[in-house]
A and B are shown apart, each in its own frame.
Chain A
Amino acid sequence: MGKIWLPFASYNLWSLFAPAVGQERWHCDMKRGYAKVRKRESDIAAILAEDTVPQAIGLFAQQGVYEFHADPQRLKDRDGVAQVSQILKLDQESDEVRDRLSRILTLYYENPVLLKKRIFSLSRGDEGFPEPIKLYLGNTAFNLFAAIDCILLEPDGTLHILDLKTGHSDFDERQAFVYLLAASYLFPRQRAIASFYNLELCKWSEPVTATASQLNAIRIELARLAQRHEMEKKQYRRNPAEFDRIFPPNPGFQCQHCPFNRVCQFAAQEISA
């Protein structure tokens, strides 16, 4: 018997609905429209299939850390970084990806922050969708997807959810809260904290904790987003011509960095002075 299909929510969906606090001016709902309801159109699908440089670097970095810990001897071997680079086939990547990954792997090799930790789970980053967690709001159910990079076990038994980062963006605490909500269902009897570690900056975030009230607030938010997303998908299917009403554009400087700018009729064109 097949699974019953349910509305879903995830940190990614949340970030497409609302930017991180303070980034409101750069937020564009139309981006969500392209990514979520028009993703099967050939030109949109082509854009989505392109691994952008930052995405590729993030994925390789995660895989690199995984490979180091799959065989910790690599962290001791003098050519450990070369071994992992070979496993990841970095020689087939662009110069930019190769150079940055080489630096990331070297930095990690020199300071393997997970080496002395008790790793409960560590994902390679290319396993596909995680198993959904079924949550409820009232009688309404929805699926929560939370792809957790790494879970550590602290000496006092606390679960420490770790998200590995690359690049220079600020950490978005909302992601930590979504993981903590997921952990509260996956490991209901265990205390949990969450943090971020940036592999390029070698920087830990402050650990994030959540009260029961905060987790409840997050659950409500995700349930509402799941419902809203379903509604907007239906609206769009009913009337594709209403795309720009359902997903209002916010043209501006941010269009330069939007992957959909070449197909978006609202994208602000850069005007040379």
Chain B
Amino acid sequence: MTAISTAPAQDLVFLSEVFPLLIARPNLAGYEVIPEIDQETGNRLSFHLSQKLEAATVIWHERRLWLLTPSQRPRPTLSQCQAALSITQQDLPDLSDQSLRLQEDNAAIATSTVLSKLAFQILRIRRPFRPILVTAIAGLTVNRKVKFWAETIELQGQARPALALAVQTEIAFAGSLADFYASNPGSPEDVLIGLPVQDFDLGGSGSIVRLVGTLREHRDRLLKLAAGGATRQAIQTAPDDQFVVAIQFGKGKKLFHYPLSALRPSITAETAGQFGFDYGQFLRFTKIPHTERQRLLRTFKAQAMDVLLRYGFEIERSLNSLEHPDLFWQPAVPLDQTPLLFGQGVTGVRGRILHGLSTGGVYNRHPNFHPGIIRIAALKLCDGSVNAFLEAVQQRLRRYGFESEIIDRKALSVADLSAAEARAALEKAVNKLITVPVDIVLTFLPQGDREADGDDGGSLYHLVYSLLLRRNIASQVIYDDTLTGVEHGQILNQVVPGVLAKLGNLPFILAEPLEIADYFIGLDISRSPKVRLAGTLNACASIRLYGKQGEFIRYVLEDALLEGEEIPQRLLERLLPATLEGKTVLIYRDGRFCGQEIPHLLERARAIQARFILVECRKSGIPRLYNLNQRTLVAPLQGLALRLSSREAVLVTTQVSERVGLARPLRLTVHEAGEPAPIEQVVETTLKLTLLHHGALKAPRLPMPIYGADRVAGLRLQGIYPSSLLEGDRQFWL
């Protein structure tokens, strides 16, 4: 990266939530399982064995069970382990008829990954952390909790085990799901199916898929299966007529059975409404001030230390730039000074986009407006006049070199309508409005819609967006409170560049080409269960192509019925055409590469003699970074990065005020199967690609090739837009 290793300064130190672990002489044994078992089975066995073997903790990693015993205790013998395995198998019906045998593997070397996973498993099973109550309102409690996971870190060329500790806020239902169900009478199917829930033992989140029966029928079977203490107790003590439900955790295919009292409703911003709670009233409690965060991290670290020490683990100070200056970077040129290119060769920077557009116009004009005017329709659902604003929009477009015409305008009053009536009236109005085709519809919504359910349920915003997308018409929503409370010029500053981009123009690109590759591609796949075929999925993959200066070229979507999350070979062939022959292409995957994607990509690369740098970009389970200013945590600088290894880094791409929260970094991993690339250069490239969001004056968290990709494919899965939109050159997702 043309980045600088930061010289430690007295007043500015960088910190992370990654804590290296030390373990001098681990009391450790490795076992092979014969015959070989798959990872999912290995993970399940290790979890149950950790319960059965009391003090010892077990993980599954690379075809071995690893067993760590506290330093001062004798290790379980092979026969004790074998006996525990046999008992565990009896409790797991699908494994009970297999003859599994353990074979000690003295030659196996525990890698840092094994050690960090063991530390994680100890904390997961022994649960030393205690949530800290912030407040309780209306049957809900707001707690601060720790989130932790295993990390590895490369220090002086050596991989070291580490642990990430992060603070998060949890809003929890005060009782169990049984309590919730008792106070919400109705048919059990209607009340329970689809509810998002958590189990008390591990806090795993899932949703209820179906009713299994009552405890009277299933108690004995469930008692054999139960691993966690809370679940076991619930099974033992709940009444006979309590329902047993099947839960699907995450994307797993396996269903797990629980009685209602072993679960609790999972309350999040997305799900609170399902339980009849107003999440808005809890929002202010979810913001954790930096000082509190600092105190909590110390507390949780101490709690982790209590249990890990027994196994011989020491937790070091979190990675910081005083001790490891070589691990932290910032771009040599501040991100907001990166030169951008507008029309007519005019250059500018992110903070001066409007000036760039005024002086040079857009970098590239869509053929529709070459010549041609922008056809605008306006739909008003709020009080007050919008004529002056529409006039201002036209003037601003003219300033950037575009003529426009207001084709039609409609007013619709929804104040006295129910939500369903309002949606029906809006649909009718939109359909009428777009009979005469326009390029963009400006919709003025009442501010109450901001609080409406943001997904496919209730918001007028979402309804307008999807109705217009079906017709290949761009959409721009402006809320009433913005219109009345913000000066028109300010609104236009935010809105107009995005409008131009949604219409297929490119307002600006990077002024200097990125060195790492000739093309940049974003890959994503969205899935949704097929309604009529249980266990199968509809999937839609999206690919976007960008040029050497970050210029958007086109996108392609592919529908396919896929098992898992693979991107089909056919799609790769469609989008990775001969134009990429002999080129270097950096491919961002939103999340991890799955299944056969890597072999498919490499095969394609060979076929067209191209070089593919494969980069995974993950958004969750990432340690946060901080600045430390006079011993106090403060928000990290945009562009701050932590090098975890020569192939992996954590990168802060956004600047967030403390009032809003704390920046959530990205994790970038250069996949070893692809072309090698210096992680520093990948970090710098990723940062620069966040600058190219044309729909907002603030740079987004994700680089543009994968920004909003889940939304694009997801909308297709909902049947929201037609097959004619499966390929295109307009960034309608902005």
Contact = CB atoms under 8 A, between A and B. Distances in A.
A214 B574 contact: no
A248 B726 contact: yes
B407 A221 contact: no
Interface stretch (B371-379, B490-498, B517-525): B371-379
Interface string A169-200: 00001100100000000000000000000000
Contacts of A211: 408
A72 to B, nearest CB: 36
A44 interface: no
Contacts, number: 68
A250 B470 CA distance: 14
Given A22-B431, A25-B719, A217 B724 contact: no
B131 interface: no
A216 B434 contact: no
Interface centre among A25, A29, A213 (most CB of B within 10 A): A213
A28 interface: yes
Interface string B425-442: 000000100111110000
B407 A137 contact: no
B722 A218 contact: no
A165 interface: no
Nearest to A212: B405
A24 B372 contact: no
Contact of B722 (A21, A24, A137): A24
A261 to B, nearest CB: 16
A250 B722 contact: yes
A174 B435 CA distance: 6
A138 B371 contact: yes
Contacts of A210: 436
A58 interface: no
A24 B574 CA distance: 25
A140 B224 CA distance: 78
B723 A28 contact: yes
Interface in B265-323: none
B41 interface: no
Given A25-B719, A220-B372, A214 B724 contact: no
A229 interface: no
A221 B372 CA distance: 10
Contacts of A245: 574, 727
A18 interface: yes
B723 A29 contact: yes
Interface string B368-411: 10011101000000000000000000000000000001111000
B723 A138 contact: no
Interface string B6-35: 000000000000000000000000000000
B532 to A, nearest CB: 11
A64 interface: no
Contacts of B727: 245, 248
Contacts of B724: 17-18, 27, 29, 248
A74 B413 CA distance: 52
B505 to A, nearest CB: 15
Given A137-B372, A138-B371, A213 B434 contact: no
Interface in B108-135: none
B592 interface: no
Nearest to B367: A227
B471 interface: yes
A221 B371 CA distance: 13
Interface in A13-71: 17-18, 21-22, 24-25, 27-29
A250 B726 CA distance: 11
Contacts of A218: 436-437
A210 B407 CA distance: 10
Contacts of A18: 471-472, 724
A224 interface: yes
A210 B471 CA distance: 21
A177 B436 contact: yes
B723 A213 contact: no
B372 A250 contact: no
Contacts of A249: 723
Contacts of B437: 217-218, 220-221
Contact of B471 (A21, A28, A220): A21
Interface in B691-713: none
Contact of A224 (B368, B438, B574, B723): B368
Interface string A236-258: 00000000010011100000000
Interface string A193-235: 0000000000000000011011011101100100000000000
A173 B406 contact: no
Nearest to A174: B435
Contacts of B434: 21
Contacts of A24: 470-471, 721-722
Contacts of B436: 177, 210, 214, 217-218
25 contacts: A17-B724, A21-B471, A24-B722, A25-B719, A27-B722, A27-B723, A27-B724, A28-B723, A138-B371, A138-B372, A139-B371, A211-B408, A213-B407, A213-B408, A214-B407, A216-B373, A217-B437, A218-B436, A220-B375, A221-B437, A224-B372, A248-B724, A249-B723, A250-B722, A250-B723
Given A27-B723, A220-B373, 18 more contacts: A17-B724, A18-B724, A24-B471, A24-B721, A25-B722, A27-B722, A29-B722, A137-B372, A177-B436, A213-B408, A214-B408, A217-B436, A217-B438, A220-B437, A245-B727, A248-B723, A248-B726, A248-B727
Q: Kindly list the 6 A-B residue pairs having the minimum CB-CB distance in the complex, ordered from nearest.
A: A138-B371, A248-B723, A221-B437, A24-B470, A250-B723, A21-B431
Interface of B: 368, 371-373, 375, 405-408, 431, 434-438, 470-472, 574, 719, 721-724, 726-727
